[in-house]
Amino acid sequence: MRILLVEDDRDLGPRIARALREERCAVDLVVDGVDAAHLGETEQYDAAVLDLGLPGMDGVAVLRAWRAAGRDLPVLVLTARDGWSDKVAGFKAGADDYLVKPFRVEELVMRLRALVRRAAGHAQPLLRAGPLSFDAPTGTFELDGLPLKLTALEWRVLSQLMLRKGAVIERLDLLEKVYEGDADTDSNSLEVIVGRLRKKIGAALIETVRGRGYRLVGA
């Protein structure tokens, strides 16, 4: 998953980003509402974690701007404001979930995974493709019932393919969802990752669609 994290607390923001990266997510951290509005409208993310109290432009205004621009990424509002009126304002602006500080990072991660899974159209938490299974709440893969060891980049690519099983995912789309905003990437690096995945799960499960991208197959 590639996550846009919008949090102006200089201690909390990096701590959340570090925890999300430990869960193999790619994270772009911004501390200003104006920058957040721009990134959310121009970059591709699986989900956003959005604080409400931001400099430059508050979180509700940022969220309204994203929705007005037609951006439908799942948004989890993260804030110290626990009043009912604040929650109503967040949901009316287009929030998908709400988490009040203080919170457990484990809960934040599981809520994000659930939002991404549902946004991809999956009601069930366990996804399958042939011998491959993906437990979305825990983020774990198994092959023939045995745990599958993956690097962070391999996990991001395979989770994207699994969430959109049967659909062709364009190379650029995969690159944008796998790497953080300041990473220097190209198509060759993606081909290397896909090659490693084929060795681990079997070449037949990942189909190359010439001139476009990749598709995960398997009932």
Q: What is the pLDDT of residue 84?
A: 75
129-174 residue pLDDT tens: 999 999 999 999 999 999 999 999 999 999 999 999 999 999 999 9
Lowest-confidence pick of 31-40, 59-68, 78-87, 124-133:
78-87
Judged against a pLDDT cut of 70, whether residue 214 lies above it is answered with yes
3-state secondary structure of 214: strand
Judged against a pLDDT cut of 70, whether residue 202 lies above it is answered with yes
Judged against a pLDDT cut of 80, whether residue 179 lies above it is answered with yes
What pTM was estimated for this model as a whole? 0.89
3-state secondary structure of 69: coil
CA distances to 8, 80, 106, 204 from 129, in Å: 40, 40, 27, 11
- Neighbouring C-beta atoms of residue 157, cutoff 10 Å: 25
Q: What is the pLDDT of residue 182?
A: 65
Sorting pLDDT into bands at 50, 70 and 90, what band is 78?
A: confident
Domains defined for the chain, CATH in brackets:
2-119 (3.40.50.2300), 126-216 (1.10.10.10)
Please give the Cα distance from 2 to 48 (Å, whole number). 9
Mean of pLDDT over the chain: 92
